[in-house]
A and B are shown apart, each in its own frame.
Chain A
Amino acid sequence: MEKDDQQLIITISREFGSGGKEIAQILGEKYGIPVYEKNILSQLGIRTQEDMDEFRVLDETPRWLIASRTVRGLTNSNEEMLAAMQFQFLKDEANAGHSFIVLGHCAEEILKDHEALITIFVSADKEFKIPRIMKEHHLNEKEATKMMKRHNKNRKQYHNYYCKNAWGDSRYYDMCLKSSALGTQKTAALIDDFVRMRTEEKA
């Protein structure tokens, strides 16, 4: 991929069920730039499907401290090593001047030195998130609530293990919004306005 004329990097951190992925996809299509989430794995040169499946389970999961150790700066935590590989991939892409949108993966801190960076945090009301989770994962309300809590806990632990700033702390994002206020389409449009104003200002 060649270097983009005006680089644009959008990081979207999101609560589970808030529609962050949908918003990222709308923006990705609008700008014609890739959206990275679990699909970063396919960019890491993992050779076999078996290994890919193993890494897929570990994507954006916190390190289980007692299951791994660090010796001379080398850790055998699969979670931590995968995170390091993904962070490096994002840094390489950003340094190469490419534009992209990335969901989660601590990107707002990993890429904080890049001028083209715009950082977003998307949350939503429970009433908005639960029906979406129920529909997408074919679960009842109780199961969806349990799943939401588990995923949000994991995302928070994962983020806060690698980052100095706390997950969802408004001081560390350019824009924090609730997708439940406007729905995912209009939220994407609102972010688009923000992105446009920011890029015009920089230009």
Chain B
Amino acid sequence: MLNALAPMAAVLIFLLMFILIILDRWPHHRVTLCCGLATLLLVFGVMMDDGGEAIIRTLNLRSLVHPEFWIASKESAESAAGINWSTILFIAGMMVMVEGMADAGFFQWLCLRLAKWVKYMASKIFLVFMFISAILAMFIDSITVILFLAAVTVELGKTLKFNPVPVILAEIFCANLGGSATMCGDPPNIIIGTSLHLTFADFLLNTGLIALICLFVTIIYFWLCFGKELKEAEKQEIDLNSLPEPSTVIKNKTSFGASVAIFFLAVVMLITHAQTGLTVAFIGVFIALLTLLCAGRKAPELLKKVDINTLLFFIGLFVVVSGLEETGVLEVIAHFIGDVSGGNIVLVIVIILWVSAIASAFVDNIPFSATMIPIIQTLSATQGIPIHTLAWTLSIGTDIGGSATPIGASANVVGTAVAIKNGYPVGWGKYCKACVPATIIVLLLSTAIILLRYVVLGG
């Protein structure tokens, strides 16, 4: 009797979690952890009669001591169920590295160096910052990228007398696009990649190619929207003396050099991880340890800055999603999508891409993608559609869709928050007027590329 109620309870807990996240009244990590605990106790502990097997599978602690978790072999077959510790360790490692880079003044230096390089011309800063936003977001979490880019943009806007809001909106869009290009660019991609055992190169050659084409279209779009306004701003008289020299923001040259070297090492390790066999969990832990070692006495300070709440958010989230998976709810949804599409691959791609995009525009794309992974796995198994095609579709849908509204992705929240904090209000109207058409254009283009490459040309 109780066993039959388990799927319903799992769905209710999941919906409650989503509603509480949307309401944003309580810290998100507390919401997911409480809902995760409810899933463990109520759904797995009380309702499911399996001797605690579901709890063990969900906590997934055994994977941590498995050699395959750290160094993968070609026959690697790690379970994708339960808490995705690879994602959590990798994100934690990258957080430590990014904190080290920020502490050394890397991001501010880079932004100011680029602004100086284009002779502080507003329209050129606009173009260069869009590019750098996309490139940095390929390797570093987009929140950090936008946090620094937006802050420097506001400062440059004040001195160079241009409106920083269009530049920040374009940076946000390009950061989300850049994030979709690689496995480590955006949390949904890390979850998709680690769950489906995809490599950095897999992402780069698939979503990376789509992102590159879309980036050029995006830059043209934003240039047509705001280029004239920024060109006009260049005609004003400005005082460049109040701008700091790029080199002055470097606090310590040794730690600056070390943090840049660690960053490049991380990039090399990620690009070559399919050849070396090192998993993203290993890379994350290794890079974090290296950063802490180089930081010396500053290491505890760096660790304190790591956003532990985000990691706790992921743990809770994975448990709640496991509740849906273990009780068979996600399988039912997958079969429903399969029935609606009648097994037609074109329809499945269109549904996954656009539903993911629309959902991600309004709800956090991290829980959404975590929920969708078991669904696309079932769809692939039952409908005979290549799992990789569905993975790229899901990745592009969630990453790009998140750009449409001010709440769709974390980078949007941070970028608009920086603008508002500095006295530049960015409401839904202003944001969506610029970003909704861009999102639709990029989604249409992505749909066309995916269908052409994976359906018409067969991959």
Q: What is the interface of chain A, defined by CB distance below 8 A to chain B?
A: 44-47, 51, 54-55, 58, 65-72, 74-76, 78, 81-82, 84-85
CB of B23 within 8 A of CB of A76, answer no
In the complex, besides A69-B407, A70-B24, A71-B410, 10 extra interface pairs with C-beta distance below 8 angstroms are A47-B424, A54-B427, A65-B24, A66-B22, A68-B406, A69-B24, A72-B310, A74-B413, A74-B421, A78-B425
Docked complex Cα distance between A67 and B427 (Å): 9
Contact A74-B414, Cβ < 8 Å, known A46-B423, A55-B425, A68-B406: yes
User: Which residues of chain B come closer than 8 Å to A85, judged between CB atoms?
Assistant: 421, 423
A-B contact count (CB 8 A): 70
Q: How far is the CA of A58 from the CA of B425 in the complex (A)?
A: 10
Distance between A69 CB and nearest chain B CB, rounded to angstroms: 5
A78 and chain B: residue at smallest CB distance: B425
Instruction: Note all chain B residues with C-beta closer than 8 A to A66.
Output: 22-24
* Residues on A with beta carbons closer than 8 Å to the beta carbon of B110: none
Chain A residues near B414 (CB, 8 Å)? 71-72, 74, 76
Q: Is B428 among interface residues, defined by CB-CB distance under 8 A? A: yes
A86 → chain B closest CB, angstroms: 12
A67-B423 CB under 8 A given contacts A72-B307, A74-B417: no
Give the CA-CA distance A171 to B22 in the complex, in Å: 34
A residues near B22, Cβ cutoff 8 Å: 65-66
Q: Are B423 and A71 in contact (CB under 8 A)?
A: no
Asked if A47 meets B423 with Cβ closer than 8 Å, knowing A67-B428, A70-B413, A76-B412, the reply is yes
27 CB < 8 A contacts A-B: A47-B423, A47-B424, A51-B425, A54-B427, A66-B23, A68-B407, A69-B24, A69-B407, A70-B24, A70-B413, A71-B410, A71-B417, A72-B310, A74-B417, A74-B418, A75-B413, A75-B417, A76-B412, A76-B414, A76-B420, A78-B425, A78-B426, A81-B417, A81-B420, A81-B421, A84-B421, A85-B423
B428 engages A71 (CB within 8 Å): no
Q: Which A residues are CB-close (under 8 A) to B25?
A: 65
Q: How far is the CA of A185 from the CA of B364 in the complex (A)?
A: 53
Q: Is B416 an interface residue (CB 8 A)?
A: yes
Contact B24 A72 (CB under 8 A): no
Q: How many residues of B contact A (CB 8 A)?
A: 25
Contact of B413 among A55, A58, A76 (CB under 8 A): A76
Contact B413 A54 (CB under 8 A): no
Name the contact of A76 in the complex, choosing from B143, B310, B416, B423 (C-beta under 8 A). Answer: B416
Alpha-carbon separation in the docked complex, A44 to B422 (Å):
10
CB closest chain-A residue, reference B157: A47
A130 to chain B, nearest CB (A): 32
State whether B307 touches A76 (Cβ < 8 A).
no
- Assembled-state Cα–Cα distance A181/B376 (Å): 69
Q: B106: shortest Cβ distance to chain A, in Å?
A: 19
Q: Most A CB atoms within 10 A — which of B23, B406, B423, B427?
A: B423
- Residues of A contacting B416 with CB < 8 Å? 76
CB distance from A41 to the nearest CB of B (A): 10
- Say how far A58's CB is from chain B's closest CB, in angstroms: 8
Docked pose: A58 CA to B23 CA in angstroms: 19
Name the contact of B143 in the complex, choosing from A46, A54, A65, A71 (C-beta under 8 A).
Answer: A71
B416, closest chain A residue (CB): A76
Point out the residues of chain B lying under 8 angstroms from A72, CB to CB: 143, 307, 310, 414
Report A-chain residues with C-beta under 8 Å of the C-beta of B410: 69, 71
Q: Which residues B382-434 have CB closer than 8 A to chain A?
A: 406-407, 410, 412-414, 416-418, 420-421, 423-428
**Shortest Cβ distance from residue B50 to the other chain A in the assembled complex, whole angstroms:** 37
Report the separation of the CA atoms of residues A54 and B307 in the bound assembly, to the nearest whole angstrom: 33
For the complex, give the distance between the alpha carbons of A68 and B23 in Å: 9
